[in-house]
């Protein structure tokens, strides 16, 4: 009779904290994971999540409510991976920069609390995704505190910087902390595109337990592609701004911005650019990106955070707000079910999410190999134990 212990054939299960509308889930499941539990506190996001995934209650449980009220004993004990895209409000350049212990960003500590309460079923790997501002918040102390919190639970931590622009035409740099109870034995000791100089301090801190997994180089950042994702819309669609509003847009541009727009407007062919409204010296102005790439999508709470689309060329200039479908496409989720979604509901939800292809790349090249390697090692040890 053979003593061979077989690897589990099922998909590794995932707990999805701060799930939003499930874009992390889309990336994880494209790599072979199965999200079985999720939590978020915003009903509008949960409504979009449920409308897109249409889960069977036996296979998936979405807990709507404040993470502070979730208890560890209510969580599934068979998950291999925990994913947390905790609020970045107090860490991002667009936020208060109060830090990881302030406001909404303080929710990170409830993620840690729940992992701590999962003593008998702690996931083998735990991921935190956040803005790159976490690396510099309070002079790097917030990042060190986050790494130390994972260390206290037994995880060694790897820290990666990955911009969604490597996969989609949107500038969206994000930080990923990958905690592993059994980190890879082979490590990468050098700097790389994924671990730039400004992240090296965390690896040099002798009070922190870290590792550097050997990973392939990610794709080079895209230089074009926005025009391919712009929604097909006729020139007389009423979503384009009228002449008066477009004139106010043009009048707010700086001389340098205006020169650029005039040049592109007079050139042959159609070109698309994105624009943000910003406050400069107390005055609201519009700024247009010079390249065929979208600026970072944000939570659309007001006009200053919403992104506009500018169509130029052949003597024409038209401006309008970006549509929900364009937001979805620029997050790598062009097939997301938007039926019934209100415009601001969708813009807010996508602007507050993680890009699908960034999660997919990390899952395929890091998380799944790490988990499979751990399972293989456990199987080997069981085989040895059984003779």
DSSP secondary structure string for all residues of 40-73: ES-HHHHHHHHHHH---TTT-EEEES-GGG--GG
Same domain assignment for residues 207 and 62: yes
Give the pLDDT score at 59: 82
Give the pLDDT score at 280: 81
Same domain assignment for residues 109 and 246: no
Q: Rounded CA gap, 25 and 37, in Å?
A: 10
Longest Cα pair distance anywhere in the chain, in angstroms? 83
Looking at the structure of the chain, the number of domains it has is: 2
Per the domain annotation, does 129 fall within a domain? yes
Q: Rounded CA gap, 262 and 62, in Å?
A: 50
Same domain assignment for residues 208 and 91: yes
- C-beta of residue 15 within 8 angstroms of C-beta of residue 85: no
Give the pLDDT score at 56: 62
Same domain assignment for residues 29 and 120: yes
Among 322, 339, 371, the domain boundary falls at 322
List helix spans (H) across 189-266: 200-204, 226-229, 243-251, 255-266
Same domain assignment for residues 58 and 129: yes
Per the domain annotation, does 98 fall within a domain? yes
> What percentage of the chain carries pLDDT values higher than 90?
76
Report which secondary-structure segment, H or E, holds 370.
helix 368-385
Among 322, 339, 373, the domain boundary falls at 322
Per the domain annotation, does 84 fall within a domain? yes
Among 279, 304, 322, the domain boundary falls at 322
Same domain assignment for residues 144 and 287: no
Per the domain annotation, does 343 fall within a domain? no
Same domain assignment for residues 156 and 94: yes
Q: What share of the chain is helix, strand, coil (3-state, %, to 5)?
A: 35, 20, 45
Arithmetic mean of pLDDT over the chain: 89
Per the domain annotation, does 193 fall within a domain? yes
More confident of the two residues 19 and 94:
19
Give the pLDDT score at 386: 46
Q: What is the β-pairing status of strands 81-84 and 13-17? A: parallel
Same domain assignment for residues 78 and 209: yes
The boundaries of the domain holding residue 59 are: 13-219+353-385
Q: What is the β-pairing status of strands 61-64 and 34-40? A: parallel
Convert the pLDDT of each residue in 183-238 to its tens digit.
Answer: 998 888 777 899 999 999 999 999 999 999 999 999 999 999 999 999 999 999 99
Per the domain annotation, does 333 fall within a domain? no
Same domain assignment for residues 256 and 358: no
- C-beta of residue 279 within 8 angstroms of C-beta of residue 286: no
More confident of the two residues 241 and 284:
241
Q: Rounded CA gap, 82 and 154, in Å?
A: 14
Same domain assignment for residues 172 and 240: no
Per the domain annotation, does 340 fall within a domain? no
CA dist 28 → 36, 125, 127, 149, 177 (Å): 12, 13, 12, 24, 15
More confident of the two residues 281 and 258:
258
CA nearest neighbour of 114 among 76, 146, 169: 76
Same domain assignment for residues 109 and 247: no
Same domain assignment for residues 58 and 194: yes
Q: What is the β-pairing status of strands 13-17 and 34-40? A: parallel
Convert the pLDDT of each residue in 327-340 to its tens digit.
Answer: 999 999 999 999 98
For residue 124, the domain's CATH number is 3.40.50.150
Tokens 């905790």 belong to 86
End-to-end CA distance of the chain: 12
Q: Find residue 284's DSSP bridge partners.
A: 279
Residue 181's pLDDT band, with cuts at 50, 70 and 90, is very high
Per the domain annotation, does 328 fall within a domain? no
Q: Indicate the burial class of 317 (C-beta count within 10 angstroms; 0-12, 13-18, 19 or more).
A: middle
């Amino acid at each position: 009779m053979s003593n061979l212990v077989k690897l589990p054939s099922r998909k590794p299960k995932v707990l999805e904290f701060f799930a939003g509308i499930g874009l992390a889930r889309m990336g994880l499941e494209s790599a072979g994971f199965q999200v079985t539990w999720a939590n978020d506190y915003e009903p509008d996001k949960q409504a979009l999540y449920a409308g897109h995934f249409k889960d069977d209650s036996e296979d998936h449980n979405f807990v709507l409510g404040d993470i502070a009220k979730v208890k560890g004993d209510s969580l599934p004990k068979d998950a291999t991976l925990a994913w947390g895209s905790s609020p970045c409000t107090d860490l991002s350049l667009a936020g208060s920069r109060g830090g990881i212990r302030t406001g909404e960003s303080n929710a990170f500590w409830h993620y840690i609390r729940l992992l701590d309460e999962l003593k008998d079923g702690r996931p083998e790997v735990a991921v935190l995704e956040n803005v790159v501002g976490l690396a510099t918040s309070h002079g790097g102390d917030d990042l060190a505190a986050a790494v130390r919190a994972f260390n206290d639970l037994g995880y060694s931590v790897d820290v990666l910087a990955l911009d969604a622009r490597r996969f989609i035409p949107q500038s969206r740099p994000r930080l990923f902390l990958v905690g592993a109870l059994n980190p890879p034995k082979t490590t990468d000791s050098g700097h790389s595109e994924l671990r730039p100089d400004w992240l090296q301090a965390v690896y040099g801190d002798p009070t922190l337990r870290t590792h550097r997994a050997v990973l392939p180089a990610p794709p080079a950042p895209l230089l074009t592609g926005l025009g391919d994702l712009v929604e097909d819309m006729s020139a007389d669609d009423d979503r384009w701004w009228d002449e008066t509003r477009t004139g106010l847009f043009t009048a707010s541009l700086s001389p340098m911005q205006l020169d650029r727009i005039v040049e592109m407007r007079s050139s042959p062919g159609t070109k698309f650019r994105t624009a943000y409204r910003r406050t400069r010296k107390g005055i609201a102005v519009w700024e247009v990106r010079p390249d065929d790439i979208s600026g970072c999508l944000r939570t659309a709470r007001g006009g200053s955070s919403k992104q506009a689309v500018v169509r130029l060329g052949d003597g024409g200039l038209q401006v309008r707000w970006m549509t929900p479908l364009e937001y979805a496409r620029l997050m790598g989720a062009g097939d997301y079910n938007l039926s019934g979604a209100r415009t601001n509901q969708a813009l807010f939800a996508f602007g507050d999410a993680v890009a699908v292809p960034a999660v997919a790349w990390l899952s395929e090249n890091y998380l799944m190999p790490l988990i499979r390697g751990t399972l293989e090692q456990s199987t080997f040890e069981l085989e040895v134990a059984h003779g």
